[in-house]
Structure 1
Amino acid sequence: MENDEFSEALGIAPDAKIGAHHRHKTSFRGISTRQRLRILTASAVDQDFLDEICELKGLEQLTLEWPVTAASLAGLSALPGLRTLRIDSPRNVTDFTPITRISRLTRLDIENAKHLTELRWIRPLKDRLFALGIDGSINTTQKIESIDPLDGFAFEELTLTNVSVADKDLSPLINCRNLKKLRCAKSVSTFEGFMTLADARPDMACDWFSPEHWPGRKWRR
């Protein structure tokens, strides 16, 4: 009977490998029994919900959709097989370092993180990430001090959507030798910054490398 109640509340079958759940009060209770889950999308994630999610040792892909009210990400390091993590609007998280202890993580996307203004914490992932996204939301610009901590990262894809970088310096990306796709806001740098990166890395694709996006500006090589 208890399992039937869990099934009805969770909307996730006991043997499901893919699941989604939007929390309403304590409707998430019992999700830790879904040990066959490999892909999970969860929304309205408070701390108790996240702590129970972190008991799903087989998870490979986890999406925490808006709103995320949990304050601690510490439990994520207990997910040994997690490869892809997306967190949308973690309004109460001030410490992102537990993410660096997810040993098999290769894709990370953090959107609209109120307390994420610097990237030094992410350095331990330098040689592990294939793709990284640090993004703002439709209505909120993500403000970052500098992308200097990303110097030499091994990723192939970097997304900085609706992001403003205080120092406007893209030069650290010159040393990201595997980086092929840069998707970002125009506000990340200046015309000169984008053109300098384009000259240094002709193998990299970015919309802002095209002078047609900069009316009235001409790059002198």
Structure 2
Amino acid sequence: MNGAFHSYPSTESALSARFRGHRDRDWKEWGERHYFEAAAQIPGEATRAWVSRQKLNYRAIADKNALAHLIAANVDQPFLEAIGQLSRLRRLELEWPFLGTDLTPLLALKELEHLSIDSPRKLSDFSRLLELPSLRTLLITNPKRMPNIEWLSGAHHLEVIGIEGAIDSLYKIESFAPLAGLRSLRAVLCVSTRLADKRLSPLAQCPQLEYLSIARCAPRSEFELLRAARPDLVCSWFDPEAWRKPVIRPAG
């Protein structure tokens, strides 16, 4: 095995943490210092907060104007509308379950750079998110009603795109063709996915792409062709040893 492959586990882990935004994440610290039972408990000067909706415990969130990073769970439409008033927000993580029905309130977040949405069960159209002028990272997990990724074809400002299934449910991507040629794209995150056309060649056309985290959703020959076209790209499936390990596939 090529000696360069020995660095992939640590390199890939570092890149995954970096592009998913977990590089500086300490869950213990978040639990002890930034988690609040109700939005009213968040200090006015706080820049970070983590809140899970229980009845109306989110109601004071719109007054927390210093917030730059918010983790919010069980978000419904009224909670989302309140979040849309946080004009200084740069990072927003909408954790499972996300119950919002209209993403329009987020369009007011002109400084938002990082957005993740987990299990948006009531939404099928995400295209308006591309109107966010500062957005660079967009991660959507388990979007059961999203029909395809065609809406990403003009997302030249995005640096990280993650469209992923859940642990027990694969998301079907028809083709990576909509991502071909995206000028700023540096990372594609697509674990728990199926790829209908089995072609990886569109990704070779993304000039800045440096990291691919993906399910084994294409033939080995496709990964070999991609590696030949983009030897600078980091992907675990470029390692021959990875193909000797059994793959456990979730249902769906």
Give the Cα–Cα distance (whole angstroms) in 1 for the partners of residues 138 and 234 of structure 2. Answer: 20
1:201 maps to: 230
State the TM-score, normalizing by the size of structure 2: 0.79
Equivalent of 1:20 in 50, 58, 61 = 50
Paired residue type of 2:81 = D
Gaps of 5+ in 2: 1-35, 245-252
Equivalent of 1:142 in 135, 149, 171 = 171
Residue 64 (str. 1) matches residue 64 (str. 2)? no
1:30-69 correspondence runs (5 A): 30-69=60-99
Paired residue type of 2:86 = L
Give the Cα–Cα distance (whole angstroms) in 2 for the partners of residues 52 and 124 of structure 1. Answer: 29
Q: Deviations over 1:154-212 (max 9, x none)?
A: 2111111111111111110111111111111002x111111111111111111111222
Paired residue type of 1:28 = Y
**Identical counterparts, % of pairs:** 38
Equivalent of 1:179 in 186, 209, 216 = 209
1:214 maps to: 243
Contact kept? 1:134, 1:160, Cα under 8 Å: yes
SS in structure 1 opposite 2:38? helix
1:119 maps to: 149
Contact kept? 2:227, 2:233, Cα under 8 Å: yes
Paired residue type of 1:20 = W
SS in structure 1 opposite 2:153? helix
Paired residue type of 1:212 = E
2:250 maps to: none
Give the Cα–Cα distance (whole angstroms) in 2 for the partners of residues 135 and 16 of structure 1. Answer: 31
Q: After the TM superposition, which segments of 4 or more aligned residues of structure 1 sit over 4 Å from their partners?
A: none
Contact kept? 2:211, 2:235, Cα under 8 Å: yes
1:99 maps to: 129
Size of the aligned set, in residue pairs, is 207
Deviates more, 1:130-139 or 1:38-47: 130-139
Deviation at 1:108, TM superposition (A): 1.0
Contact kept? 2:180, 2:202, Cα under 8 Å: yes
Paired residue type of 1:41 = I
SS in structure 2 opposite 1:212? helix
Gaps of 5+ in 1: 1-6, 216-221
State the TM-score, normalizing by the size of structure 1: 0.90
Give the Cα–Cα distance (whole angstroms) in 1 for the partners of residues 223 and 106 of structure 2. Answer: 36
Give the Cα–Cα distance (whole angstroms) in 2 for the partners of residues 194 and 9 of structure 1. Answer: 48
Q: Deviations over 1:45-70 (max 9, x none)?
A: 00110011001111000000000011
2:109 maps to: 79
Root-mean-square deviation (Å) = 1.4
Paired residue type of 2:187 = E
